[in-house]
Structure 1
Amino acid sequence: MTLEQRSLPDPLLGSDGRKVTTEEQWRSVRRPDILRLFRDYVYGREPVGRPEHIGFHVEKEDGFMEGAAIRKRVEIRFEGPGGAGAFRLLLFLPAKAAKPVPVFLLINNRGRAVADAERASSSPFWPAELIVSRGYAAALFHTEELDPDRDDGFADGVHGLFDPVEKPRSPHAWGTIAAWAWGACRAMDYLETDPDIDPRRVAVVGHSRGGKTALWAGAIDPRFAMVVSNNSGCTGAALSRGKRGETIRDINARFPHWFCETYKSFDGRENELPVDQHMLLSLIAPRALYVSSATEDLWADPESEFLSLIAAEPVYRLFGSEGLGTASLPPADTPVFGSGVGYHIRTGKHDMGLSDWRHFIDFADRAMRAQ
C-alpha cells in the first residue's frame, strides 16, 4: 500500500488547520501539539520528569578490553512519593580517545546475558568492543530494573514510586514503554555530568520494544542527538494505517501494560487515531534519526517502517535536510544515508547484530561527529 493510499495525517498541518511553514512555528506550536496527542492517546503522561531527589554513585575501573576501555558502573538513585528506587548504567569508555567522547546508549530489553560487565563474552546484540574501537563510549541499562515487563497493575517499578496504585489511574497515565523511556532520560541526566562524555553527542538505541522506547525517549527529550530504532514495528517506527503483521489490537491484547488505557479504544480503528507513527518520527527533527528493518520481520512490517520515515521527511526538509533522497525501499543490506535520516533493511530475522551496529556507527560518524 502506497503512502497516498494510507491517508496519513499531515505532520505540518496544525490543529487549527493552518500549515506550518517555519522552524519557529514547528517548535513553538506544532511539535508541542503532536507531543500532547501522543501522550494523551498512545504512550501516556509521565507524572514526573527529572525527580527532585536524584543522585549518581560511580565506580570507575581501568584495564578492560585488553586495555582499550575504561569501565564505569553507575547507580542512578531517585525518590518519589512511593519510596526510593535505582537502576544501573554500565559504561565502557575508549581509553585512548580524546575526551569527551560521543556515546551509544542501549535500552536493553534482552536480559543480562547480552551485557557481560567483565567482558568474558561479547554479544552481537551489544558489541561494546566494536563501539569502543570506533571511538564511542558504549552504555547500557536494563529495562527490567525500571519497570517489569508484565501486566502487574502498575504496582512495581517506577510506576509504583511516582504513580502510586492507591490513586485512581487516568486513562492517559503512562505505560511501561513510557517508564522505560523515562529511565533513558534519567541516564541522560547522568551522562550530562560525566566529564568523559560529550552530552551533545548521545545516541539512544533500541531493538523491538526497546526501539519503541528509544523513539519515545527521543521525542520527549531533545537532549538526545541521535535516535536509532531497530525492528520497532507496531507503535514504533511502522505506520499503523495500512500496516501488515501486528496491529494496534494485537499489541494491546498481548501487552496491555505498554501504553495508556486510551490507546485500547483504537483497536481496529487505526484510521481514527489523530496521529500515526510518522508523526512520532517527525518529533526527532532536526536531530539525527536512523530506522532499520529486517527482511523476514514481517510482523513488524519493514515497508511500513520505511514509509513512515519517508512520511516524516517534510519536517526534516523544513529544517534544511534533504531526507533519504529515495522513496523506494532499498535493496537488503544496502544502507541509505540522508543528511538527517538513515535507513537499512538487513537480511534476516527480528534481531539486532554486528551489521546493524556497523551501519548505526557509520551514520553517527556523519551525523554526530559534525555537531
Structure 2
Amino acid sequence: MSHWSRWFLVALVAQLTPGYSLVASDQIDPSHATVRQDDPTLWYKVQLLGLEGQGWTETKAPFDRLPAHAEGVVRDPVWSLSRHAAGLCVRFKTDAETIRARWTLTSDRLAMPHMPATGVSGLDLYAKLDDQWCWVGVGFPSEVTNTVTLASGLTGEAREYLLYLPLYNGVASVEIGLPEGATLAKATPRAEGQEKPIVVYGTSITQGGCASRPGMVHTAILGRRFNRPVINLGFSGNGKMEAELADLLAELDPALYVLDCLPNMVAEEIEARVEPFVRSLRSARPETPIVLAEDRTYTNARLVAGQWERNRSSRAALRAAYDRLVASGVKGLTYLAGDPQLGEDGEATVDGSHPTDLGFLRMADVFESVLQPLLATPEPVETCERTATGPVEVPRTLQDSFHPPIAFLGDDGTYSSPLEFSDGRTVQNATDWLERRREILSTWHGIMGQWPALLDEPATETLGTETQEGFEQRQVRIEVAPEGRTLDGYLLIPEGDGPFPAMLVVFYEPETAIGEGNPVLAFARDLANSGFVALSLGIDPSAVIPEAGRLGVQPLSYLAFMAANASNAMARMPEIDPDRIGVMGHSYGGKWALFASCLHEAFACGVWSDPGIVFDESRPNVNYWEPWYLGWEAGRNRSRGVITPESPRTGAYEQLVRKGHDLHELHALMAPRPFLVSGGSEDPPERWRALSHTVAVNRLLGFEHQVALTNRPGHRPTEQSNEQIMDFLKSVLRP
C-alpha cells in the first residue's frame, strides 16, 4: 500500500469517527442509571466504570484504599486514613454536553485550616484533548451530600474524562450525571506496558496536603504525565515504614515503588526501619524498582535551625541505609534527593512543609525526571547501539589516537570496572548494560544531588546580529534553568543551507570562544568556519554554588544541567540538526563538557580539552575537590588549594572518593557515543588506564574507535591540537 493510500484511509476513518468512538461493548446501559423525580438527569454509579488507583478489590467499603484484612493489623490511625479516597479516580468516555456529579462524604469536616474544601472533600474533572489532559471543572462541596454541575456547554464530541475523588475525606457514594440521550462508556484500557501502577507510600504530602483540588497533588500529576495508574498510599502523619505496611505493599505488583516517608520519621526510626522494609519488598518483588525519597526541604530551613537539622539528620540516616543496602547486594534501588523538590524561592508551601499547587508541580517535575528511566520499556538493541554519528571514520591525523600506546596496552590501572554491578554481578550483554548504566547514574546523582526536570522548551532571545566573514554571529540569551535563569552568549551560524551539526562551547565567559582573546581558544569561530553551528556560553563556576537549604546540587553537576537545557534549546533551532549536537570545552570548560556529555545522553559527542579526566590529587589543576566543582558542603569552608590534613576533602567529592568512585564511571556513560580527550599537562598518555574501561564497554556493545586521546606537552591548546579536534568532529558529526 502506498503512503498516499495509507494516509487516505486514516483520514477517512478520522472523518467518520471524530474524537473517541464509543465501542458498544464498553457502553454502560442506561437501564443501570437512576432518575430522580422532576430531574431527567441519568445518574450512574462510578463502580460501573471501574475505579483506578485502588490497589485491592476486597475492601471493607467501596472506596477504601487498604484491603479489609488490613483492619486490626495496621495501627488505627492508618486504618482510619486509608478510608480517605486520596488518589482514587474514574476514567470514562462520554459525548455529553453537560456532566454533573453527586457524592456523599463520610465526614462533615469539609475543609482544614490550611487546605480548602475543594482539595479535602471535592471532585476534580479532566478531559483528554489532543492526547493531553486538560482541566475541566471542580466539584465544590458544601455539605455531606453534594450535587453539582462539573461542566456544561461542552461540544458533545465523544472524549475521555478523568474524575478524581477527595483527598482528605472518605466517600460513601459517587455518581456521574448525564443528560438523557448522552452515551457513557468505560475508558479504553491502558496500553500494554502502562497498565501496571506506580505505588507511592508516604505521608500527608503524598496524601495531598495541601493541594487546592485532587488533581493537583504530585501523584495525580505524574499519573497524567506517564499515562499510568498511581496508587496513593499517603497517610497523614503516619507514613512510618512499619513492617505491616511492607507486607501489604508486597501484595501489589506495581511498575515501581516510591517510599517517601521521611517527613514522618526521625533519624532513629529511619535507621531501624528502612532496611527491613526494603528487604521485605525486595524479597517479595525481586525485580521491581524501589525509589527511596528524601524529604522536601522545609522552606524556612535557612532561618529555623531545627528545621534544617531535621532535614540533615533524616537524610543522613536514609543515605546510610541506602548505602548499606546497596553494599549488601540489594539491587534495583534509586535515591531521590530532597533539595530540588520545592524549588529555590521558598514560595511553594502553605506552612513551610506542605506544598501548594506550585510546590506539587515542582515535585512532579523532580519525581518525573527520576521515575522516567525506571518506567521506560527496555529496548536493548536500539537504545544501546543508537548513536547519532554512526561508526567513526578515523581521520589520518588521529590514526594513533584511538588506541593506547604499547606501554599501556592491557593496563587498566586500579580503577574498578564499570562492567561490574555494585552487587558483584558482571555485565554480560547490552540489556545488562542498560541496568548498570542506570545504576551508575543513580549513584552519582544521588551523591551530587538530583537534577530538577529539564526544560521542555527553553526560551531563546536574540539580542543582536552581526555579519562576519563566512558566518552570522548572533548575541543570544538562552534559558538554562528553572525560574527563568538565563545565560548570555553567541550563536555562530555558517553560510549555506542547514540544518548543520552543532557544538555547545563552554568556558568562564562566551567572548573567548568567538575570538575575543587568545586565538587558540577561539573554538566557536573555528567551528563556524568549518561548517558547524556553534553556541558559546560561559559562567564562572562560583556563580552556581548552592546556598544552604536551597539548590542542593553540586555546582559541576548543575553546570551540566544548564548545558543539557542549552542543548534542548539548540535542538529547537531550525538551523541545527537536533541529532548532531555535541559539547566541548577547555580546562574548566573541559570539566563542564565532560559532566554535561556524560550525564545528558542527548549530546551526540564530547570533546574535553585537558580538564583532568580522573580524580588526581597530585595535580593542583585537577581540582574537583573545590567547592565550585564537587566539594560544596553546607556549613563547611575549606582553604583553596590541594587536599591536606588541615584542608581535607568535603562535600560530594569526599563521598565519591571514600566510596571508591572515579570519573571513569562517568566516561562509560558515553558509550557508544564518541568522545575525544584533547590531552595536555593534566591528561597525559597514562589516562588510557581509565579510558580503557570505556573502550571495553563499547566493545561489549559492538563498537570500536569511539574513544580517542591526543597529547601535547602543555595545558594550553595548540594549532595542532585544535586541528585534531576539528578533524575528530568532522569525522563524527559530518558537516
Q: Secondary structure at the match of 1:259?
A: coil
Q: Percent identity?
A: 22
Pair 354,104 (structure 1): closer, same or farther in 2 beyond 3 Å: farther
The partner residue of 1:362 within 712, 718, 727 is 727
**1:154 and 2:552 equivalent?**
no
Pair 79,127 (structure 1): closer, same or farther in 2 beyond 3 Å: closer
The partner residue of 2:600 within 214, 221, 233 is 221
The amino acid across from 1:11 in the alignment is P
The partner residue of 1:321 within 697, 703, 715 is 703
Provide the C-alpha distance between the structure 2 equivalents of 1:190 and 1:48, rounded to a whole number of angstroms: 17
Q: Secondary structure at the match of 1:256?
A: coil
**1:352 and 2:722 equivalent?**
no
Provide the C-alpha distance between the structure 1 equivalents of 2:653 and 2:523, rounded to a whole number of angstroms: 38
Name the residue aligned to 1:273: 659
**1:130 and 2:493 equivalent?**
no
Pair 79,301 (structure 1): closer, same or farther in 2 beyond 3 Å: closer
2:594–2:608 CA contact under 8 A, matched in 1:
yes
Name the residue aligned to 1:40: 446
Pair 122,22 (structure 1): closer, same or farther in 2 beyond 3 Å: same
1:266–1:272 CA contact under 8 A, matched in 2:
no
Q: Secondary structure at the match of 2:650?
A: helix
The amino acid across from 2:501 in the alignment is P
Q: Trace 1:174-189 onto structure 2 (pairs within 5 A).
A: 174-189=553-568
Q: Trace 1:197-346 onto structure 2 (pairs within 5 A).
A: 197-233=576-612, 237-238=613-614, 240=616, 244-246=618-620, 251-252=624-625, 255-259=626-630, 261=632, 264=650, 272-294=658-680, 297=681, 300-322=682-704, 339-346=705-712
2:413–2:689 CA contact under 8 A, matched in 1:
no
2:524–2:536 CA contact under 8 A, matched in 1:
no
Pair 303,245 (structure 1): closer, same or farther in 2 beyond 3 Å: farther
Q: How many residues align?
A: 313
1:89–1:140 CA contact under 8 A, matched in 2:
yes
Provide the TM-score with structure 1 as the length reference: 0.74
Q: Secondary structure at the match of 2:519?
A: coil
Q: Trace 1:56-205 onto structure 2 (pairs within 5 A).
A: 56-59=460-463, 61=465, 63-65=467-469, 68-77=470-479, 80=482, 83-96=483-496, 98-109=497-508, 111-116=509-514, 123-144=519-540, 148-149=541-542, 154-155=546-547, 165=548, 167=549, 173-205=552-584
Provide the C-alpha distance between the structure 1 equivalents of 2:561 and 2:577, rounded to a whole number of angstroms: 20
Pair 317,55 (structure 1): closer, same or farther in 2 beyond 3 Å: same
1:89–1:187 CA contact under 8 A, matched in 2:
no
Provide the C-alpha distance between the structure 1 equivalents of 2:677 and 2:423, rounded to a whole number of angstroms: 31
Give, in angstroms, the shift of residue 229 of structure 1.
Answer: 1.0
Give, in angstroms, the shift of residue 61 of structure 1.
Answer: 3.6
Give, in angstroms, the shift of residue 31 of structure 1.
Answer: 0.4
Bigger Cα Rg: 2
- Can you give the 5+ residue segments of structure 2 that lack an aligned partner in the other structure? 1-406, 634-648
Give, in angstroms, the shift of residue 266 of structure 1.
Answer: 8.5
Give, in angstroms, the shift of residue 115 of structure 1.
Answer: 4.2
Pair 292,11 (structure 1): closer, same or farther in 2 beyond 3 Å: same
Pair 19,350 (structure 1): closer, same or farther in 2 beyond 3 Å: same
Name the residue aligned to 2:454: 50
Q: Deviations over 1:161-187 (max 9, x none)?
A: xxxx4x377xxx322211221121111
Give, in angstroms, the shift of residue 305 of structure 1.
Answer: 2.8
2:506–2:538 CA contact under 8 A, matched in 1:
yes
Provide the TM-score with structure 2 as the length reference: 0.39
Provide the C-alpha distance between the structure 2 equivalents of 1:256 and 1:56, rounded to a whole number of angstroms: 30
Provide the C-alpha distance between the structure 2 equivalents of 1:8 and 1:251, rounded to a whole number of angstroms: 18
1:200–1:225 CA contact under 8 A, matched in 2:
yes
Provide the C-alpha distance between the structure 2 equivalents of 1:78 and 1:364, rounded to a whole number of angstroms: 25
Provide the C-alpha distance between the structure 1 equivalents of 2:478 and 2:593, rounded to a whole number of angstroms: 19
Q: Secondary structure at the match of 1:306?
A: helix
1:291–1:309 CA contact under 8 A, matched in 2:
no
Q: Secondary structure at the match of 1:352?
A: coil
Pair 4,342 (structure 1): closer, same or farther in 2 beyond 3 Å: closer
1:35–1:219 CA contact under 8 A, matched in 2:
no
Pair 230,130 (structure 1): closer, same or farther in 2 beyond 3 Å: same
Provide the C-alpha distance between the structure 2 equivalents of 1:229 and 1:285, rounded to a whole number of angstroms: 15
2:490–2:537 CA contact under 8 A, matched in 1:
yes
Give, in angstroms, the shift of residue 257 of structure 1.
Answer: 3.0
Give, in angstroms, the shift of residue 261 of structure 1.
Answer: 4.9
Pair 218,115 (structure 1): closer, same or farther in 2 beyond 3 Å: closer
2:500–2:532 CA contact under 8 A, matched in 1:
yes
Q: Deviations over 1:74-103 (max 9, x none)?
A: 2123674xx54211231111112x310011
Give, in angstroms, the shift of residue 303 of structure 1.
Answer: 3.7
Q: Secondary structure at the match of 1:149?
A: helix
Pair 305,61 (structure 1): closer, same or farther in 2 beyond 3 Å: same
Give, in angstroms, the shift of residue 133 of structure 1.
Answer: 2.4
2:462–2:474 CA contact under 8 A, matched in 1:
yes
Q: Secondary structure at the match of 1:359?
A: helix
2:461–2:477 CA contact under 8 A, matched in 1:
yes
Give, in angstroms, the shift of residue 319 of structure 1.
Answer: 1.9
Q: Secondary structure at the match of 1:92?
A: strand
Pair 49,260 (structure 1): closer, same or farther in 2 beyond 3 Å: farther
Q: Which has the higher contact order (CA 8 A, sep 6+)?
A: 1
Question: Superposition RMSD on alpha carbons, in Å?
Answer: 3.2
- Can you give the 5+ residue segments of structure 1 that lack an aligned partner in the other structure? 156-164, 323-338
Q: Deviations over 1:315-363 (max 9, x none)?
A: 11112223xxxxxxxxxxxxxxxx212220013x212343322211211
Provide the C-alpha distance between the structure 2 equivalents of 1:112 and 1:25, rounded to a whole number of angstroms: 41
Pair 292,270 (structure 1): closer, same or farther in 2 beyond 3 Å: same
